[in-house]
Chains A and B, each alone.
Chain A
């Protein structure tokens, strides 16, 4: 039996079509992927992301431990700042992607739900020195409130001003009277927040946020729109675009790989070499030139020869075209390169384009 998140009864009451995802019974959609996608792009929507794995790390060696395990430079984080990062295997393959928060007395890691157990075990087996790790996934609920009206909605229920909270910064505050960690983060390309709160108070916070968002037609958003929103921004999905057979350099994640960290990190030797020699393939954005939709594993061709394959694909509700992510040999990775995707035996024209596919997101740069 799949597990239930603290918001499960709200999803069922809202008519959510429930599916098993990462071991949880979660809504894939409520009244349609396209209208839910448009809701987030135009006003505000709420995602139950309680299935994500949440891990606290404490102790005087916590910083050194996290810096050794992750690719980004955790030493650069100020208190209440967050960073996107990657856990790698020694061969540079990706264990998971994650967000690392520095909090006053601890670090807080948020990992993919489907990888929660694997990541926890991986971190556990590398523990050394004064480091204590605790997986607090079940004790907490996690919501993502996303869209151009997200701040207006959250400000009404939040105990402190949110305007000064920058992108990838967090605050400890009360949401509807409930103690919560709130960060300006998300997976949509829109402005928005994620709130981490005690599971026992989850429904109270949900109801307050929906009451606050009523004037903006706030809606719960399912996993289907979460996928189309992130794809339009070229945000990688573990299991599709990145996994243990891919590395952060070829996946275009060099911006979160601090190769110059003095002590290095697991996988840094391989990734340094790859950065210097350049990877043989790269994750690119493909825009279909006709009415086709590329799907994962479809071959990508150039002049009839295979050059790679699709890892994610959908119809983009924002640009109304087939869009896809996929790996291609490096010499074909340049924006403007014309390629083909083998759509069930038919070669459909596609163009390599610069990310993101959707260029009007409300996410504010710092």
Chain B
């Protein structure tokens, strides 16, 4: 069963957000990494750019397929997790820790209120899961 820490906020598009001051660390959820499986490349095309919520941050290449990664918040993308360049599989192994993907300096902190808590996201994930 996928794990959803209660101190994080979640987007319907399967990203998590952890707030530290006005900087949000984002990654993909345990459910999302399990669905994608075998992640081999993570590319953050929006590094340095200011983007709006739900705009593409980059792409995640798994063996099976490529997926767009959407930003769950608006702001400036200040950092991408460099360690993933050599070991993207860390996103599979530790999606909430060493497998974080990017940091975004928030332009609109109120947006966080629109994200889901762990309980609401767990329900969404259960509905999206394979039978």
Contact = CB atoms under 8 A, between A and B. Distances in A.
A in complex with B: yes
Interface of A: 17-19, 28-29, 32-34, 224, 228, 291, 293, 295, 314-315, 317, 344
Given A28-B64, A32-B37, A291-B41, 12 more contacts: A17-B130, A32-B38, A224-B37, A224-B38, A224-B63, A228-B63, A315-B38, A315-B40, A315-B61, A315-B63, A344-B59, A344-B66
A109 to B, nearest CB: 30
B63 A314 contact: yes
Interface of B: 34, 37-38, 40-41, 59, 61, 63-66, 92, 130-131
Contacts of A32: 37-38, 92
Dominant SS among interface residues on chain A: mixed
Contacts of A224: 37-38, 63-64
Contacts of B66: 293, 295, 344
Nearest to B129: A17
Given A18-B130, A18-B131, A19-B130, A293 B61 contact: yes
A18 B66 CA distance: 20
Nearest to A294: B66
A317 B66 CA distance: 16
Contacts of A19: 130
B45 to A, nearest CB: 10
Nearest to A316: B63
Contacts of B131: 18
A9 to B, nearest CB: 14
Nearest to A315: B40
B63 A33 contact: yes
B41 A33 contact: no
Contacts of B92: 32
A314 B37 CA distance: 13
A252 B41 CA distance: 31
Nearest to B35: A17
Contacts of B61: 293, 315
Contact of B38 (A18, A33, A291, A344): A33
B63 A34 contact: yes
Nearest to B61: A293
B40 A293 contact: yes
A34 B130 contact: no
A33 B65 CA distance: 12
B58 to A, nearest CB: 11
